[in-house]
Chain A
Amino acid sequence: MPEESLNVTIGRLLDRLAVVTHPCHLDLLMFFQRHPRTLIGTDALASYVGYDPAEISLSLEALVGSDLVSRSNNRAHSARMYVLRLHAESGDWLPTLLAIASTSRGRARVIAVLDTRTSREPRATESRSSRLAHRIGVGHA
């Protein structure tokens, strides 16, 4: 697929999957695609996916909130069960996006499109940064 056309496809998929706004969302979804049923703590997940735990927590909240991933309700446990939900409501968009991102080049393209969108929506970035700063306990300018 030509690059321009691929970018358009990715853009359309991201329009449908509005929750996916940050590379961490994408990488978590890809991890859960390889491990569709995972019993894990946030720290371990952060190590596997390669982001800091606060970023992971934030992204997990978003994915669970949008029903793309289910999470067990057991706050007393150190780990929680995460299950990727490839249900009918999300249509083929999520599998298609993950299929594109399954190659190194594809993942880079999706992240590039995400970056373009983020730079066009400063308020969304600011909001995410504020939440992250709040999570990790530092002030935000």
Chain B
Amino acid sequence: MPESDLIQTGVIGLDRILGGGIPRGNLILVEGAAGTGKTTFGVQFIYRGAQELDEPGLIVLFEVSPERIMREAATFGWDLAALERQGRIKIVFTTRQVFEQELRRADSLLLDEAREIRARRVFVDSFAPVWQRDANQPPREAFHILSEGLQRENLTAMVALEVSAHEEARTTAAVPEEFVADTIILLRVESLERAAVRSLEIVKSRGQAYEMGRHTFRIGDGRGGLEVYRRVQARRNIEREQAAAYDVSRRLATGTPGLDPLLGGGMWPGATVLTVGVSGVGKSVMALQYIAEGARRGERSLMVTLDEPPAQVIRNAGTIGIDLQEFIDRDLVQLWYDSPQELEIDRHFAHVEEMVRDRRPQRVVIDSLSTYGGILGLRAQTFRDFLHACVSLMKEYQVTAIYNHENPEMLGMTSMMGEMTVSSLVDTIILLNWVELGDTFRLALTVAKMRASPIIRQTHECEIIDGQGMRVLPNALDPAIPRLPFTAYLGLVSRAPERHTPHLGAP
């Protein structure tokens, strides 16, 4: 459908879900219980139309006074009074009865008002719920009259309709307007434990394709009014094959001395890399070195951190000799902290997507996957869908992404990724482990998986030195150090290290 045939809602994020907007002339029903955001949605539809799209609009109110609407709009930075003075909007207060009577008349005063400002949009707030209607007035007929009256004037109308907050009541009660309306958008406030999450669902929209399901939205989140975040589970509109057009001539250096040779020269562009290990084993150190290495090469990075706020990450980087602040100041590194408390995953992902799309980093670190698992449930479909979406996004932009994942096992590793059942998505797995030899815990690293590159799954010793960071030690240790190299042992990761017999283990 040509874009000119679509009317933009003016709600950030929603037009994308609708494939650009809603077909002009559609009668749009915005349903929701009290407090779900119907009025704000409708006022935003009129305001953005008049202010940004040169489409004047009429607001018809039955219950709320124009004064209150203007006051609420002002909290989002929308100056309705100025638009009214400029003749770009009109706000009319009336009663439902008068409204319905007026729409039956060819010489409707209400439509005269719309005509005067050459209105293209109208918002009606609001139709009464089914249980409050006049029994003598068949609602379907009244709504059909409304539809005819508004379409006669070439107006795209949005009508707010109060529905029950109880989902069961909604699905069983007949809402006659739904049969007449062309587009139905349902707003909900859902309880999640003790939190409340807003969601928006396009129930139907004649004449267009749209993305189904419940998308998260917020009101007044900095940019004014409603902002919709596409459901993270929704498929991305890219061909997987097209996204997988990899550059095989290039590898990305990890920044951890000794690691690149174990990876066949470095990480593939667009690879999904999982670093697995117990808490405190050095996953974040390795990630910081990866980012710093990129910055030294002039490559942009993004680090998404749920576990530690930026100031702490910067401090930590400083202890291993990385001046992260300098890279941030030079726009080579972006640190984004989102508190895991009551995290809205659709909104979170939308922000990650925006940063990747706008800044085009070549390297991304997600720290950590286990925190997402803690919020969403490691076995939950939402978690797997989120990871799918992340992997798909990074591959689309050919970003090499490291996902840190905390394995709960202090020693050894009976399962590489615990309960997480997403290993098929991952291209490279690096295991970090403590191994207990004598009275010492020593740090072990194994490249357990690497797609498109032959690897030797040998366990190597690592060390983290204050002020210098992590490095993978060579197999042959300095003879001055009185300890055996890892090559002198069997079964390091399986919790049962044994010394080689001398004839097998001699270097």
Contacts and interface: CB of A to CB of B under 8 A. Distances in A.
Contact of A38 (B92, B99, B107): B92
A58 to B, nearest CB: 21
Contacts, number: 55
A77 B95 CA distance: 14
A38 B94 CA distance: 6
Nearest to B93: A35
B372 to A, nearest CB: 49
A36 B66 contact: yes
B91 interface: yes
A79 interface: yes
A79 B66 contact: no
Contacts of A5: none
Interface string A71-88: 010100111110000000
Nearest to A38: B93
A34 B64 CA distance: 10
A37 B109 contact: no
A116 B453 CA distance: 97
A16 B161 CA distance: 45
B105 interface: yes
Contact of B91 (A37, A74, A77): A37
Contacts of B66: 34-37
Interface stretch (A39-47, A60-68, A105-113, A120-128): A39-47
Given A72-B109, A81-B109, A37 B102 contact: no
A-side interface size class: 10 to 19
> By CB atoms of chain B within 10 A, which of A39, A41, A79 has the most?
A39
A7 interface: no
A57 interface: no
Nearest to A72: B109
B154 interface: no
A9 interface: no
B101 A79 contact: yes
B94 A79 contact: yes
A14 B10 CA distance: 46
A33 interface: yes
Nearest to A78: B101
B65 interface: yes
Interface residues of B, number: 19
B92 A37 contact: yes
B67 A33 contact: yes
B209 interface: no
A48 to B, nearest CB: 9
Contacts of B338: none
Interface string B78-113: 000000000000111111011101100101011001
A79 B62 CA distance: 14
A37 B65 CA distance: 10
B91 A39 contact: no
A77 B108 CA distance: 9
B473 to A, nearest CB: 77
Interface string B52-89: 00000000000001110000000000000000000000
A40 B91 CA distance: 14
Contacts of B93: 35, 37-40
Given A34-B66, A74-B109, A79 B92 contact: no
Contact of B90 (A33, A37, A74): A37
A80 B112 CA distance: 12
Given A44-B95, A79-B101, A79-B102, A39 B90 contact: no
Contacts of A77: 101-102, 105, 109
Given A72-B109, A77-B109, A34 B98 contact: no
B107 to A, nearest CB: 7
A36 B91 CA distance: 8
Nearest to A33: B67
A134 B97 CA distance: 29
B65 A34 contact: yes
Nearest to B98: A79
Contacts of A72: 109
Contacts of A44: 95, 97-98
> By CB atoms of chain A within 10 A, which of B91, B93, B113 has the most?
B93
Contacts of B92: 37-39, 81
A34 B67 contact: yes
Contacts of B105: 77
A39 B109 contact: yes
B171 to A, nearest CB: 35
Nearest to B59: A37
A23 B57 CA distance: 35
Contacts of B113: 37, 81
A37 B110 CA distance: 11
Contacts of B67: 33-35
A34 B68 CA distance: 8
A72 B111 CA distance: 13
Given A79-B94, A79-B109, A35 B65 contact: yes
B137 to A, nearest CB: 15
Nearest to A74: B109
A69 B42 CA distance: 28
A27 to B, nearest CB: 14
Nearest to B65: A34
17 contacts: A34-B65, A34-B66, A35-B66, A35-B93, A37-B66, A37-B91, A37-B93, A38-B93, A39-B93, A39-B109, A39-B110, A44-B97, A44-B98, A72-B109, A77-B102, A77-B109, A79-B95
Given A38-B94, A79-B102, A81-B109, 10 more contacts: A35-B67, A39-B92, A39-B99, A39-B110, A40-B95, A77-B102, A79-B94, A79-B95, A79-B101, A79-B109
